Each structure stands twice: as structure tokens, then as C-alpha cells.
Chain A
Amino acid sequence: MGDEKLLDIKNLTIKTGSGRVLVNHISLDMEKGELLGVEGESGSGKTLTAKTIINLLPENLSWEAERFQVLGVDYLKADPKAIKSLVGGRIGYVPQNTGFYLHPMIKIKDQIADGYVLYSKSSIEEALARASKLVGAVGIKDTERLLNSYPWQLSGGMRQRVNIAMALMNKPRLIIADEPTTALDSTIQKQVVDLFRAVNEAHQTSVLMISHDLGLIKYYCQRILVMYGGQIIEEASAGDLFAMPKHPYTKLLIKVIPSLNIKRGERLEEIPGHVLEIGKPRSGCVFKERCSYRQDICATEVKEQSLDGFHTFRCNFDI
């Protein structure tokens, strides 16, 4: 099991109680030490996929899959307790910064350490010493004061660093970061992703980073999945994806990244049309309504193509 896959998911489908399909037969895998980026617009299904891995799918949704293994634990067979301790003990979750993921009425020191005490079988003092070290590592100077603060006494950037430190407490083998840099200013954004990279290099920790910021993912990830309408429409190494994007949606995404040398009066690029209404029964390509290469065949079927076994995309053409 030395080279076991960290994530091995085949044909994951997520549905609402009324049967609407939100994530449609996606497969993904991750190797140890890998930095994987998942890119997509809001509603593309990327957050739901991540939430399935950490067993936090909202109650009204259900998932099914042909294979679903995380760090060697088979979610299709394992009992809930085993999944719970896997998620708590070996996976770190860094949430979106826009929400309030720290309890407003509990001091940081009383919520940063409880998971560590439980899974590392350590005393509260040891846990706090580790918390203090990690909080220092994420760039906070007065760690003592921070640990004795309530979350609402901190700025958004500080709170997100606490979230990251909290995710690192149990020396996780996999970190799932869901838009970890949203609503942070750009200097802190870079600090945050640099921190992930440092943890990755130091401990071979794998990071699954979800973001709609393609620029950030390009700078940071080795491999990128592009999601649209509940499907993975393209998957490639970061270099390949930017050098020769194959799916029309990916091409457009790369084109619309605003560059710094925009001329005065120049229009920003945009992708025509709207994000498709997820969950509607449909056939053929998920992107057909907005695609300028669309032909009749796209309405009924879509081909899965592979360039070299590693770069795959779902399109009927090779443009």
C-alpha cells in the first residue's frame, strides 16, 4: 500500500432528494504529495465534490459512486465512525473565508486544539503548544494574544490563517482547501498559497485546492481539473492546460483572465451566455449553449478524448 492513491473516486454522482443531478459521473484521483487544483464557476459542483470527501454533504443531498476511496478507506463499505475519524484525524479542511467557520463565542485556543486532543491522544497543554507553533508558522506574531482572542476580534485574514493552522493540527495527509483565498487581499492570498506549498514540500502533504481563480491555481498546482455543469470537462497538468487548452470552455477561461496591461477603454473579455442551470436533465455536451464551435452532434452526444492518457477533455472536436 506504499504507493496507494490518496483519492480514488470513480463515477461520483451527487443528487438532490428530488433526483436533480448536481454532480454527474465524475472521476478523480490524487497521488501522495500532489497539488491538485479544481477550477470552475460557482455551481459547477466543485464544492459539493469536496464536501463528499470530508463527509459534510448537506442532509438533503445524496451521493453514489462506483468507487470511493480516500486514504485507503472505502466510503462505500466503511462504517460512519471510521470515516469520521479519517476526516478528523487525517484530512485537514480549510473552508471558504467568507463564512464564519470559527465559533464566535469560544476563544481560539478552545477550538483550535480540540480535534488534536481527540485524535493525537495528547494533553491540552501539548495541543496548545502545537497550536501556538502553527499559528506562528502561518505568520501571526503575537500568538499568545491570538489564542486568547475571540474570532470576531480578528480580521478576515487572521481568521483564515487560524483556519489553516487548525487544518494542520493533526499533521493531515490531505488538505482540502475550498476557495481558501477568497476575500483576502492579494498579498495575503500569496502568503496563504505559499504556506500550502511549504507544508506540501516539508511533509509530502497533498493539497486539493478548489478555486475559481485560474491565475492562482496556475501559479500553484501541478495538475488541474476544470469543472463545468457538474462534470469534469478537462483535466491536464498545469503546464499543458495553459499551453494547449483543448475544451472551448477552458480556452475561454484562460482568455478572460484579466492581464495587468489592459489598455484604457479596452473591453474585458467575457464568456457569452450564463452558467447553465444545474440539475436539468440534458443530453450531449454541457457547454453547448455557450460554445461557438457547437454543431448538431453536440446536442446528443459528447466524446471523451485523451491526448496522451494524462490530458483528457470532453468535446466532440479537437480544435
Chain B
Amino acid sequence: MLNYLYKRISHAVEVLLLVSIITFAVLMWIPGDAAQLILGSDATPEKLAALRSALGLDRPWYLQYWDWLKGFVSFDLGKSYLFGQDVSTLIRQRLPVTMSIAVFSMIIATVISIVLGILAAIRKNTAVDYVSTGLMQLGSSVPAFWIGMMSIVYLGLELQWFPIAGYVPPERGFVAYLNSIALPSMVLAIGEIGMLLRTVRTSMLDALSQDFMDMARAKGLSSFTIYFKYALRSAMIAPSNVIGLQFAKLVGGTVVVESVFSLPGIGRLILVAVEQRDVFLLLGLVMFITTLVIAIALLVDIAVMFINPRIRVEMQGE
């Protein structure tokens, strides 16, 4: 197990280094820099040059990268010129928003996909199966911004069930908090259900056709035991992986939904950093998201290992 963790983590470090070099190089290469950003477009060349040397921007790129890397390993992501704040502070402020909608949409998507996926597999080629297949195709083909705007119009403005924009932190009332993230979470969930539902249905069908299901039926067990104890257990491995990957993707930025619902999350921060060429902010965000995605993927793999006794026992035997 330790050996495995060591391998995975050292691999993650390689990936992070590579991502940081590529991102840094691209940001250096595109025109415009922090001095320009701070002084505006009508600054004189002399003033720009002075600020560049004050900020150290006139030094070779590899020295600047080295400085940034030294900061990164001590968890200092540098300062955003645009906001005048530490990048890590900016991320910390916005992470709860993105995390909230990522977690809630994943919960919604998981529950719906598992329930419908199992039903679709058990009642294969019946109305339940067709309805859920239709739903998953609809969910994965209709763009999120359109569903978002429609839900604002109907569920927000007309029915007034949910607020249509803004974020209420949980310390200002839990119900208000849930209300503020309900619509964006649902809209995100619709996009995630398609893939997940398909995976649940396929692996459930596969499990149902296994020999051990015949045995469970020959023992005269109740349908509940047959489906939940025997079938679902082996049908949950593939969906668990998909859930993990989808969650990692969501945490890494829900740009469209955050924009549609005016939520101050990571996705909007990325948008601002790109628009304003805020190099360190963007670099910090890219590195943060990469780290998070790698960490979640690792956690999911470990979790799946614990679902599957075969891998678990082999690990203990090492």
C-alpha cells in the first residue's frame, strides 16, 4: 500500500511540474504583463520599465519561474495584481461556493443515476428503461447554460421557488444557503446524470447476468437481497470511478453555471484571471485545480480498492 502511494504521489509531482512549466511558458509568451495591467494602456514606456524592474519582470523567465516554484512548494501562490491579495486567499474565499455546488450536484446526480440505473437494468426494455435512457440523452446533449437560463425563468422568476442569483454562506442561515445553491446544483447534476446513469445501468446488467445471480435466485432470496446484496455490490465499481472523475471535473471549475447564476466561485475567478491577464492568479488557479484533481483521483482509486476485496486482500498480503 505504501509502495503504491509512493508511486502515485511521485507521479503526481511529475505531472504538477510539467503543468506548471507549460502554463508558465504560455503566460510568458502571450503579450501583456502585470506592469501593463497595473499601469493601464496609456502608461509611458519609462514608467513601465521602472515597474517591471521593481517587480522583477525584466529578469529571464526561468529565474521568475524558479522564484514562483520556490513559493509554490511553501504553499505561497504569489499575489494577484488585479485584486492586490494573495492568490491563496482568493481561492480560499471562493472554494466553498464551487465545492458546495460540486458536492450537491454530485449527490443529486448519484442518487438519481443509481436509482434509475438499477430500475432500468432490472426492468430492461420497459417504460422505466426508455424514460431513463431518454433522460440521459437529453441531459448530456442540452447545454448547461440553456437549462440554467430556463430554470431561472421558470423555477426562479415565475414560480419563485429559488433565488436566481448570488450565494449565501451557510453561516448566514443553512436554509438560505441550500436555497442559493439549489438551482445551480440541479442544473449541473442534469449534465452529469447522463454518463453516470449509463454506467450504472450497464454494470448492473452485467452483474445480473453473472452465475452468482442464478445461485442467489436458487436460494430463494428476497428481491431486495438479490439486487442490493448480490448485484449492486459488483455493479458499483465502475460507477464509483465515474463519480470520482466527474466530481474532480466539477471542482475544477463550473465556469458556465457560476456565470449564469452569478456565483462568486472558482470558475468565475478563472474567467476574470484570463480576461485580465492576471498571470500569477491564473497560474495559481491552474496549479490548485490540477493538484485537486490528482488528489481526488487518488482518493477515488483508494476508495474503489476498498470496495473490491480482491485488491484489498492483495494489498495486505504485500
With both chains docked as a complex, state the minimum distance between the C-beta of B313 and any C-beta of chain A, in angstroms: 7
Residues of A close to B218: CB separation below 8 A: 54, 56, 87-88, 91, 93, 95
Chain B min CB distance to A99 (Å):
4
Give a binary string over B203-223; 1 marks a CB under 8 Å from any A CB, 0 the rest. Answer: 000000011101111111110
Q: In the complex, are the beta carbons of B217 and A100 less than 8 A apart?
A: no
B234 within 8 A of A: yes
A-B residue pair count with CB separations less than 8 angstroms: 70
- The complex places the Cα of A88 from the Cα of B214 at a distance, in Å, of 12
Q: Report the Cα distance A95→B212, complex, angstroms.
A: 10
B220 touches A105 (CB 8 A): no
Instruction: Determine the distance from Cα of A232 to Cα of B234 in the docked complex, in whole angstroms.
Output: 39
- Is A153 an interface residue when CB atoms closer than 8 A count as contact? yes
Verify A56–B309 contact, CB threshold 8 A. Answer: no
Contact A152:B229 (CB < 8 A) given known A93-B218, A103-B234, A115-B221: no
Contact with B along A154-174 (1 / 0, CB 8 A): 000000000100100000000
Q: Hey, which chain B residues are within 8 Å of A105, CB to CB? A: 233-234, 307-310
Q: Given A105-B234, A105-B309, A114-B225, decide whether A84 and B220 contact each other with a Cβ distance below 8 A.
A: yes
In the complex the two chains form, is A103's CB within 8 Å of B230's CB? Answer: yes
A246 to B211, CA, bound (A): 37
Nearest CB of chain B from residue A153's CB, rounded to whole Å: 7
Taking CB atoms and an 8 Å cut-off, the chain A residues in 69-103 that contact chain B are: 84-89, 91, 93, 95, 99-103
B-chain residues with CB within 8 Å of residue A102 when the two chains form the complex: 212, 215
A310 interface residue, CB < 8 Å from B?
no
Q: Is the CB of A150 within 8 A of B313?
A: yes
Q: Shortest 9 CB-CB distances between A and B: which pairs?
A: A88-B220, A115-B219, A99-B211, A93-B218, A101-B215, A103-B212, A101-B211, A84-B220, A100-B211
Sample (15) of A-B pairs whose CB atoms are under 8 Å apart: A55-B217, A56-B217, A56-B218, A85-B220, A91-B218, A93-B218, A100-B210, A101-B211, A102-B212, A103-B233, A106-B229, A106-B233, A107-B309, A118-B222, A166-B219
- Judging by beta carbons under 8 Å apart, are B234 and A104 in contact? yes
Docked complex: B259-318 residues within 8 A CB-CB of A: 307-310, 313
Contacts of B310 in A (CB 8 A): 104-105, 150, 152
B121 to A: closest C-beta gap in Å: 13
Chain A residues in 8 Å Cβ range of B217: 55-56
Chain B neighbourhood of A119, CB < 8 A? 220
Q: Which residues of B are at the interface with A, using a C-beta cutoff of 8 A?
A: 210-212, 214-222, 225, 229-230, 233-234, 307-310, 313
| Chain A 202-239 near chain B by CB (<8 Å), digits 1 or 0 | 00000000000000000000000000000000000000
How far is the CB of A188 from the nearest CB of chain B, in Å?
Answer: 20
Q: How far, in angstroms, from A163 to B216 measured CA to CA in the complex?
A: 12
State the CA gap A43–B114 with chains docked (Å): 38
Chain A positions within 8 Å of B211 at CB level: 95, 99-101
Complex alpha-carbon distance, A54 and B220, angstroms? 10
Contact indicator B215/A118 (Cβ below 8 Å)? no
Q: Which of A87, A88, A105, A153 lies at the interface centre, i.e. has the most chain B CB atoms within 10 A of its CB? A: A105
Q: Considering the chains assembled together, what is the distance between the CA atoms of A91 and B217 in angstroms?
A: 12
Q: How far is the CA of A114 from the CA of B218 in the complex (A)?
A: 12
Cβ of A151 to closest chain B Cβ, rounded Å: 9
Known: A88-B220, A93-B218. 14 other contacts (CB 8 A): A56-B217, A88-B221, A100-B210, A100-B211, A101-B215, A102-B212, A103-B234, A104-B310, A106-B229, A114-B229, A115-B221, A118-B219, A118-B222, A166-B215
Task: Tell me which residues across on chain B come within 8 A of A99, comparing CB atoms.
Answer: 211
Find A114's partner among B210, B221, B313 (CB 8 Å cutoff). Answer: B221
Q: Complex: how many Å from CA A182 to CA B220?
A: 25
A residues near B230, Cβ cutoff 8 Å: 103, 106
Q: How far is the CB of A51 from chain B (nearest CB, A)?
A: 8
A101 near B214 with CB under 8 A, answer yes
Q: Decide if A115 touches B220 in the complex (CB within 8 Å).
A: yes
Question: Chain A residues with Cβ under 8 A from B307's Cβ?
Answer: 105
A80 to B310, CA, bound (A): 36
Partner of A150, one of B216, B225, B234, B309: B309
Q: In the complex, what's the smallest C-beta–C-beta distance from A82 to chain B, in angstroms?
A: 11
Rounded to whole angstroms, the CA-CA distance of A115 and B217 in the bound complex is 10
Min distance, Cβ B306 to any Cβ of chain A, angstroms: 11
A171 CA to B190 CA, complexed, in Å: 51
Q: Write the nearest CB–CB distance from B174 to chain A, whole angstroms.
A: 38
